[in-house]
């Protein structure tokens, strides 16, 4: 697959790209810092940079320079991966054919490792609007402020910044017992006890084992951090929705390995389908 784009008036225009639906990608539960306006244009912050995306006919318009597109957004949106081929590989039965067709356009974002881990620690036993509210407050209180298009935005606070705080500093977040989990993880990352970059190069079994040693991190949060932060695409997070889908549509002996090496992408198609299909 060859990605085609051109520059126009400080924007990058993606032409002829398939499998990139903005709403499905940003609203499927994998990320929490993208918001749409009434016209369906999304604005998000990644690695201290803000950007807007919108549809224009069959094109996607990204409000950035070519330099930033190549440095940040091309990789972040996983634009060099052929999702059409992956959907065909995952369509192993009638249910998966329906799920992949319904989910056409979902892409797995290549999120920053610490942000993904922290975000999914916040996500446990929580709903998406509340998760987004907590993360917005976290960034406003402890991230770095910058201006974009005449408005103030905030970077995701580093592990080093959060590691220097106490639980009372996180009171504005109203995140309850999760405050101690956030601070403990930040301290481990900041001290080097947990090296997420090195962990991303290990096996899924090793990564899961290490992450589950973190205070308050169970298998589901560990798997989400692996899939969405460490880019371990064969990871298959399971929550209530997924367990229902597996019980209804698969055999009792179901093994996510049937979707290898893209079990994580299969999980997103299934999750999106059972919640919205």
Render pLDDT for 215-247 as a digit per residue (tens, 0 to 9): 999 999 999 999 999 999 999 999 888 999 999
Q: Is 145's pLDDT higher than 80?
A: yes
pLDDT above 80 for 277: no
pLDDT at 241: 87
Confidence of residue 85 (pLDDT cuts 50, 70, 90): very high
Please, which pLDDT band fits residue 6 given cuts at 50, 70 and 90? very high
The predicted structure's pLDDT at residue 18 = 81
- Section 129-145 average pLDDT: 97
How many whole angstroms separate alpha carbon 9 and alpha carbon 25? 25
What pLDDT sits at residue 271? 94
**Mean pLDDT across the stretch 23-27?**
96
* Helix (H) or strand (E) segment spanning residue 12: strand 11-15
For tokens 């356009």, name the residue.
Answer: 105
* Whether the model pTM is above 0.85: yes
**35-59 mean pLDDT:** 95
Rounded to whole angstroms, how far apart are CA atoms 30 and 223? 12
Q: How far is Cα 4 from Cα 24, in angstroms, rounded to an integer? A: 22
Give the architecture (CATH level 2) of 113-228: Orthogonal Bundle (1.10)
Q: What is the pLDDT of residue 21?
A: 96
- Domain segments of the chain: what residues? 4-80, 113-228
Read off the DSSP letter of residue 173: G
Give residue 59's Cα distance to chain centre.
23
Tens-place pLDDT, residues 165-212: 999 999 999 999 999 999 999 999 999 999 999 999 999 999 999 999
Band (pLDDT 50/70/90 cuts) for residue 268 is very high
pLDDT of residue 105: 96
* Mean pLDDT along residues 262-277: 94
Write the DSSP string, 95-153: HHHHHHHHTTT-------HHHHHHHHHHHTT--HHHHHHHHHHHHHHHS-EEEETTEEE
Give me the pLDDT at residue 17, please: 85
> 4-80 has which CATH code?
3.30.310.260
What span, in angstroms and rounded, lies between the C-alpha atoms of 76 and 137? 23
Taking the C-alpha atoms of residue 275 and residue 267, their distance in angstroms, rounded to an integer, is: 12
Give yes or no for residue 1 having a pLDDT over 90: no
Q: What's the mean per-residue pLDDT of the chain? A: 96
């Amino acid at each position: 697959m060859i990605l085609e784009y051109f520059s126009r008036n400080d924007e990058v225009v993606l032409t002829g790209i398939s499998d990139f639906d903005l709403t499905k990608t940003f609203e499927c539960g994998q990320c929490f810092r993208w918001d749409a306006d009434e016209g369906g244009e999304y604005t998000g912050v990644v690695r201290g940079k803000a950007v807007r995306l919108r549809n224009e006919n069959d094109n996607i318009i990204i409000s950035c320079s070519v330099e930033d597109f190549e440095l940040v957004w091309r990789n972040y949106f996983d634009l060099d991966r052929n999702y059409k081929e992956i959907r065909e590989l995952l369509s192993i039965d009638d249910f998966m054919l329906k799920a992949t067709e319904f989910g056409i356009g979902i892409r797995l974002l290549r999120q920053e490792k610490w942000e993904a881990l922290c975000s999914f620690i916040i996500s446990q036993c929580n709903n998406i609007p509340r998760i987004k509210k907590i993360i917005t407050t976290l960034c406003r209180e402890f991230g770095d402020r910058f201006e974009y298009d005449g408005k103030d935005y905030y970077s995701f606070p580093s592990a080093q910044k959060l590691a220097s705080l106490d639980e009372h500093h996180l009171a504005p977040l109203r995140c309850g017992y999760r405050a101690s989990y956030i601070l403990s993880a930040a301290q481990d990352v900041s001290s080097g006890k947990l090296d997420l970059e090195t962990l991303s190069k290990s096996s899924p079994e090793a990564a899961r084992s290490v992450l589950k040693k973190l205070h308050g991190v169970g298998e589901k949060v560990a798997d989400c951090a692996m899939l969405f932060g460490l880019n371990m695409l064969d990871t298959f997070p399971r929550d209530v929705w997924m367990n229902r889908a597996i019980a209804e549509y698969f055999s009792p002996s179901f093994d996510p390995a049937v979707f290898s090496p893209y079990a994580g992408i299969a999980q997103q198609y299934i999750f999106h389908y059972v919640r919205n299909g």
